[in-house]
Amino acid sequence: MRLKSFPGGVHPHDHKHYSAAAKIEELAAPARVVIHLSQHIGSPSTPVVAVGDEVKTGQLIAEASGFVSIPQHATISGKVTRIDRFPHPCGTKQIAIEITSDGKDEWVEITDEPRFLDLPASEMKERVAAAGICGMGGAGFPTVVKLSPPADKPIDTVILNGVECEPYLTSDYRLMLERAEDVITGLKLIMKIVSASKGAIGIEANKPDAIALMEKITAKEQNISVVPLKLRYPQGAEKQLIYAATRRRVPNAGGLPSAVGVVVQNVGTAVAVYEAVRFRKPLVDRIITVTGHIVKTPKNFKARIGTLYSELVEACGGLTEEAGKYISGGPMMGFAIPNLEAPVAKGSSGLVIFDKKEANILEEHPCLHCARCVDVCPLNLMPSLIAAQVKAKNLDMAVRFGLNDCMKCGSCSYVCPAHIRLVQWIDTGKIRWSEAQRTKK
């Protein structure tokens, strides 16, 4: 069978063997959680609790502050002890609510709606919004926004993203193996919400057991297909996955999947949607991979949102040697963080730990114009020229070579023989460009 894929991209060693076989382990509710108000794309949530308040697990503690925003919920029961700036998994410090446990893990009431599949789409959408779900693949776009496409853009296909093209990470893989039924139920709910007639689930060929299991479960579903994909990074990027699965091209310059009749959701998000619609369960936990060759026992955890990374590493038995780099997320697009004080957020798919040697930064050399970056760019841009124009403070030219189309997948930096930090230069350019636009107005 010919596997589907997209143009461009790279093929890094996937390093998934460290944690691929580790069954999801439910981590006990921690003694303290830090719940960030900004775990998603959009405006930060507004706290509705004050220091000293008692909260139950699943209780609303911050509400959505607009359409592109989500509410946050307590993930343990106890007392709100601080609302302050805390380390964020993207490496900065941001406002968060700290809850100290009362040790009881008392939940708000969780109901089971037996006929949840028959609920009207509007009710389903409301439950998704109330559960505080955002994209769990990493970017964290509020799910309810994606489930509300413009009326003039009918959706015919929902694609579940089970690609997990980032090396090292195995959280989506384990979820697909261990909760396959719930993933597919989630897909059906999403299809119903956006009234799409077709569903697909894209999985890369390095997860043959997940492909086989999904094919088995969906064998009787006429309108749901499993799409095995060639191993290629960044296949999990929305536009690339849509192209691989449907051959449709999402327009550039801010185009959304709805323009080509598609909605993409991560498999983890699908399970969260299922739990929200059926049980009204808010998003209080997620699957996260803790891995790296110096992690004593790499694992996949089901952890409460707000659990500190340091506790996850401890639960893996610690490290076998001194760490060189902590990466929140995957190694291609994740954030290097200064310590393990940051908590798990809704978009935290993994914590990858490098040793000193792996963390070694390569020295930058002059550009040879070898065009490897041009060859691998999945968006058909000219990364080295964008970077050169940013360096020369020539932003108009940088835009011409694709500055604003770049999604920072890092394929260019990955292959550059001169070790030029292309993504960093492009990111600098994006910031300078938006500043320049602001001052123009």
Partner 1 sequence: MKDKVIVSPAPHLHDRTSIPNVMWNVVLALTPALIASVYFWGFKSLLLTMLGAVAAVCTEALIQKLRKVPIAVADGSAFLTGMLLAYNIHANAPWWLPVVGSAFAIAVGKQVFGGLGNNPVNPALLGRAFLLASWPTLMTNGWVATKAGSMNGITNLKLIHDNLQSIAPKAYDLVTSATPLKVAQTLRDSSFVNSLTPDPGTNLDLVNRIFIGLTDGSTLQNLFWGNIGGCIGEVSVFALLIGAAWLLWKNIIEWRIPLFYLATVAVLTLLFGGIKGSGVSLSVPVFHLFSGGLMLGAFFMATDYTTTPMTKKGRIIFGIGCGLLTVVIRLVGGYPEGVSYSILFMNVMTPLIDALTVPKAFGKVKK
Binding footprint of partner 1 on the chain (CB under 8 A): 7, 10, 12, 91, 167, 239, 243, 249-253, 255, 322-327, 331-340, 352, 354, 359-362, 365-371, 374-375, 378-382, 384-385, 400-402, 405, 408, 410, 413-419, 421, 423-424, 427
Contacts (Cβ under 8 Å, ≥6 apart) of 361: none
Q: Tell which residue, 29, 79, 35, 59, has the closest CA to residue 304.
A: 29
Cβ distance 229 to 206 under 8 Å?
no
Nearer to partner 1 among residue 76 and residue 406 (C-beta)? 406
Nearer to partner 1 among residue 108 and residue 374 (C-beta)? 374
Cβ distance 342 to 328 under 8 Å?
yes
The helix (run of H) or strand (run of E) holding residue 229 is strand 224-229
Rounded to a whole number of angstroms, the minimum distance from the CB of residue 215 to partner 1 is 30
Nearer to partner 1 among residue 255 and residue 317 (C-beta)? 255
Rounded to a whole number of angstroms, the minimum distance from the CB of residue 419 to partner 1 is 7
Rounded to a whole number of angstroms, the minimum distance from the CB of residue 15 to partner 1 is 9
Nearer to partner 1 among residue 49 and residue 376 (C-beta)? 376
Rounded to a whole number of angstroms, the minimum distance from the CB of residue 144 to partner 1 is 25
Cα–Cα distance for residue pair 436/426, rounded to 1 Å: 15
Nearer to partner 1 among residue 106 and residue 405 (C-beta)? 405
Cα–Cα distance for residue pair 115/121, rounded to 1 Å: 13
Nearer to partner 1 among residue 293 and residue 421 (C-beta)? 421
Rounded to a whole number of angstroms, the minimum distance from the CB of residue 270 to partner 1 is 25
Nearer to partner 1 among residue 166 and residue 285 (C-beta)? 166
**DSSP-assigned states of every residue in 138-171:** SS--BHHHHTS--TTS---EEEEEE---SSS--H
**DSSP-assigned states of every residue in 382-394:** -HHHHHHHHHTT-
Nearer to partner 1 among residue 126 and residue 427 (C-beta)? 427
Neighbours of 434 (CB within 10 A): 10
Residues in the chain: 441
Rounded to a whole number of angstroms, the minimum distance from the CB of residue 388 to partner 1 is 10
Cα–Cα distance for residue pair 391/336, rounded to 1 Å: 23
Contacts (Cβ under 8 Å, ≥6 apart) of 353: 290, 291, 292, 294, 295, 313, 319, 323, 325, 326, 327
Cα–Cα distance for residue pair 191/177, rounded to 1 Å: 21
Rounded to a whole number of angstroms, the minimum distance from the CB of residue 257 to partner 1 is 11
Rounded to a whole number of angstroms, the minimum distance from the CB of residue 32 to partner 1 is 19
> Which two three-digit tokens encode residue 21?
């076989």
